[in-house]
Amino acid sequence: MDSYISPVELENAYRLINHGPTVLISAAHRGVENVMAAAWACALDFSPPRLTVVLDKTSRTRELVEGSSRFAIQVPTAAQLQLTRDLGTTSLVTEPCKLVDSGVELFYIDGYEAPFVAGCSAWLACEVIVEPHNQKTYDLFIAEVTGAWADRRVFQDGHWNFENAEPQWRSLHYIAGGQFYAIGEPLRAQAKESATAGA
Ligand SMILES: Cc1cc2nc3c(=O)[nH]c(=O)nc-3n(C[C@H](O)[C@H](O)[C@H](O)COP(=O)(O)O)c2cc1C
């Protein structure tokens, strides 16, 4: 594991995807590893931290997630733009060499089953909370976050620090047809006395 990767308290894990980035979802089952891009990933709860992802039935990654009940979410960087696009436009179903061709580098963290993608800015280990109706009808998977890490060059003390990191660390935000935005400038709103903590 890269020495810049630092653990993130689980109570702050939601912050790794609270800004709505496009993510990479990785999973492994019975010796098969895979990664796909996903724009539809969302924080769901603080404690325990939970999130949702939409995994289409055609994706091979979904099969691995259903088989292992584990997956990892990672936040790719602007430097990984092409990698993110490639992992989202090729399928292991039709392209057995998808991972090699994309050049993606995977690593493992002791105690976690799913592979993680190197070079990202944040990683969340997830365990599926099995909800067959949601999965079958809406392709919607709910998961609990069981581990979280971030690269301290861009996430420190529980907060993103995009404004002071190199531009290649910015997160990607997908529209359609290969068009992404990198996260923009920080804007800080004033807190009201009645505001809830952390909001
Ligand atoms: C930027 C981007 C975002 C995507 N978001 C999602 C998503 O949220 N859910 C989904 O099921 N597919 C999404 N896709 C499509 C999958 O990544 C794509 O079907 C991929 O080829 C699946 O790979 P696999 O079959 O090897 O698992 C997205 C694709 C791109 C390029």
124/8 Cα distance (integer angstroms)? 9
Sketch the domain layout of the chain as residue ranges.
5-182
DSSP H helices, the chain, are: 60-68, 81-89, 98-102, 132-138
Q: Are 74 and 63 contacting, i.e. CB atoms less than 8 angstroms apart? A: no
149/142 Cα distance (integer angstroms)? 20
Task: Say what the alpha-carbon torsion angle 61, 16, 124, 176 is, to the nearest 10 degrees.
Answer: 10
Q: Is the CB of 56 under 6 A from ligand 1?
A: yes
Q: Is the CB of 108 under 6 A from ligand 1?
A: no
Q: Is the pLDDT of residue 147 over 60?
A: yes
Q: Is the CB of 83 under 6 A from ligand 1?
A: no
86/103 Cα distance (integer angstroms)? 10
Task: Tell how far the Cα of 37 is from the centroid of ligand 1, in angstroms.
Answer: 5
135/94 Cα distance (integer angstroms)? 23
Task: Tell how far the Cα of 36 is from the centroid of ligand 1, in angstroms.
Answer: 5
Q: Are 61 and 25 contacting, i.e. CB atoms less than 8 angstroms apart? A: yes
Task: Tell how far the Cα of 56 is from the centroid of ligand 1, in angstroms.
Answer: 8
Q: Is the pLDDT of residue 198 over 60?
A: no
Q: Which residues contact 179 (CB under 8 A, 6 or more apart)?
A: none
Ligand 1 probe mutation, 53, 56, 93, most atoms within 8 A of CB:
56
Q: Give 24's pLDDT tier (boundaries 50, 70, 90).
A: very high
Name the one residue in this structure whose structure tokens are 């990479």.
Answer: 24
Q: Write out the H or E segment, with its range, that includes residue 95.
A: none
Name the one residue in this structure whose structure tokens are 């992404």.
Answer: 180
Q: Is the CB of 123 under 6 A from ligand 1?
A: no
Q: Is the CB of 72 under 6 A from ligand 1?
A: no
What pLDDT shows up at residue 199? 53
Q: Is the pLDDT of residue 13 over 70?
A: yes
SS3 state of residue 46: coil
Mean pLDDT calculated for residue range 71-100: 98
- Percentage, residues of the chain above pLDDT 90: 94
Which range has the worst mean pLDDT, 23-32, 120-129, 186-195? 186-195
Q: Is the CB of 36 under 6 A from ligand 1?
A: yes
CB atoms near residue 49 (< 10 Å): 24
Rounded to 5°, the CA angle 9-14-18 comes to 140
Ligand 1 probe mutation, 17, 34, 36, 58, most atoms within 8 A of CB:
36
Q: Give 193's pLDDT tier (boundaries 50, 70, 90).
A: confident
What pLDDT shows up at residue 195? 57
Per-residue pLDDT tens over the stretch 26-52: 999 999 999 999 999 999 999 999 999
Instruction: Say which CATH topology domain 5-182 has.
Output: Pnp Oxidase; Chain A (2.30.110)
Q: Is the CB of 52 under 6 A from ligand 1?
A: no
User: Which tokens go with 118?
Assistant: 């190197």
What pLDDT shows up at residue 1? 78
Q: Are 23 and 73 contacting, i.e. CB atoms less than 8 angstroms apart? A: yes
